[in-house]
Amino acid sequence: MTKTGVAAVAFGLFVYVFAPNLAHAQGVTKTTILIGQSGPISGANKEFGEDIRDGVLAYFSKVNAAGGVHGRKLQLITLDDANAAKQAGENGRILIEQRGVLALFGYASATLSLPALPFVEKNKTPFVGPFTGAEPMRKFNRYVYNIRASYADELEQIVEFYTSTGMKKFSILHYDDAIGKENLGAVETALTKRGLKPVSISAVKRNQTDLGDTVSNMVKASPDVVIATTLYRTTADYIKQARKIGSGAQFASTSFVGASALATDLGAQGTGVVVAQVVPPYSKSSIEVVKEYQGAIEKQLGKKDYSFTSLEAYIGAKVLVEGIRRAGTNLTRESLLKALDTVQRFDVGGYVVDFSPTNHNGSRFVELTAISKAGRFAY
């Protein structure tokens, strides 16, 4: 290759990596559309990240098999963050500024999503369907579109359910970080409305494995109910240890836990654990979007491996693609943002998402479920 040729190649790479706002670097070519995801694909919570990825791929594959969107095929780039906030932020930079994706999708928590926001805002990149109901991600941001209800919505419903049966002694398990403290505050607000205070509070680090003291302190407080706002591995370990030393408390969790992974991890010890859900039952094929999801995920995985998490990802991917369709053939980050604002009262098939130019929180759907003896979910 000539020196001129080398220079041209180098210049091309320079444009792609360092000028992400140019149209050709926004993840859109004549034949493809790039979407970026960061998630825990390794480590203790990898099943959660894998479920999100699989749900997105199931819908993308369905769309691609039908010819794509305006002749373009959808491609998902997934980077592993191992549930580490710093890596999630760096992955956001790489996806937006180096890989030049059109949009980010499906980060696995607020703690993982927040470090990506500076790159989202700097590059005016749509960020759709983060897997979180935490308030810091629900404050209006032109670039962020939440599909699900808030954790405050979920926690209010959990507290209402138990207090309506006469239970008054509540303990709280949360991560010892900004998002965990937001969740703690949401539970305390729900309790205060009813003249109650928590009898114990357990704060743990993410990926913490030694839960001995926090569990024993909770058991000494003798709560009627323990509300957990942590991921499935922490939650499962906490429940197992509590029951091992004699706790008779009932346990409840937000949807953040990863319900299917929690049920699998707990096995027989999961019976009766209540989990809030922000999507319809994944087993209820009478709901149009659930039936559609079941067929797509089975084709994607080669088995009937359903979960609330992959269903939520599937629904979120469907909303994202609707925005891409509405943006038309001249697809850019800016045109996608404008199109998503028109996704108002959009029925994906038994689940409605409602955005507007001033509201990017698309749903407040919450339903409580309980793990059955067979490891399934009752409503």
Distance separating alpha carbons of residues 328 and 335, to the nearest angstrom: 8
Distance separating alpha carbons of residues 355 and 219, to the nearest angstrom: 44
Q: Is the dihedral of CA 141, 76, 52, 305 positive or negative?
A: positive
DSSP 272: T
pTM: 0.85
Beta-bridge partner residues of 38: 79
Closest CA to 364 of 288, 282, 278: 278
For residues 243-258, average pLDDT: 94
Q: Does residue 16 have a pLDDT over 80?
A: no
Phi, psi of 360 (to 5 degrees): -115, 20
| pLDDT attached to residue 25 | 57
Name the burial class of residue 306, with classes exposed (0-12), middle (13-18) and buried (19+) by CB atoms within 10 angstroms of its CB: buried
| pLDDT attached to residue 379 | 77
More confident site: 379 or 41:
41
Q: Is the dihedral of CA 332, 79, 317, 312 positive or negative?
A: negative
Distance separating alpha carbons of residues 126 and 107, to the nearest angstrom: 13
Chain center to CA of 323: 19
Q: What is the pLDDT of residues 108-132, one digit of tens each?
A: 999 999 999 999 999 999 999 999 9
Distance separating alpha carbons of residues 173 and 187, to the nearest angstrom: 10
Tokens of 64: 């691609």
151-277 placed in CATH 3.40.50.2300:
yes
Tokens of 142: 């032109």
Tokens of 256: 């953040």
Q: What is the pLDDT of residues 267-320, one digit of tens each?
A: 999 999 999 999 999 999 999 999 999 999 999 999 999 999 999 999 999 999
Domains 3-148+286-363 and 151-277 are alike in CATH topology: yes
Listed by start position, the domains of the chain span 3-148+286-363, 151-277
Distance separating alpha carbons of residues 211 and 234, to the nearest angstrom: 9
User: Backbone dihedral region of 188: left (phi > 0), alpha (psi from -120 to 50 degrees) or beta?
Assistant: alpha
| pLDDT attached to residue 361 | 98
How big is the chain by its Cα radius of gyration, in Å? 21
Domain 3-148+286-363 - what CATH class? alpha beta
Distance separating alpha carbons of residues 371 and 270, to the nearest angstrom: 6
Distance separating alpha carbons of residues 83 and 107, to the nearest angstrom: 10
- Are the C-beta atoms of 289 and 318 separated by less than 8 Å? yes
Q: Does residue 2 have a pLDDT over 50?
A: no
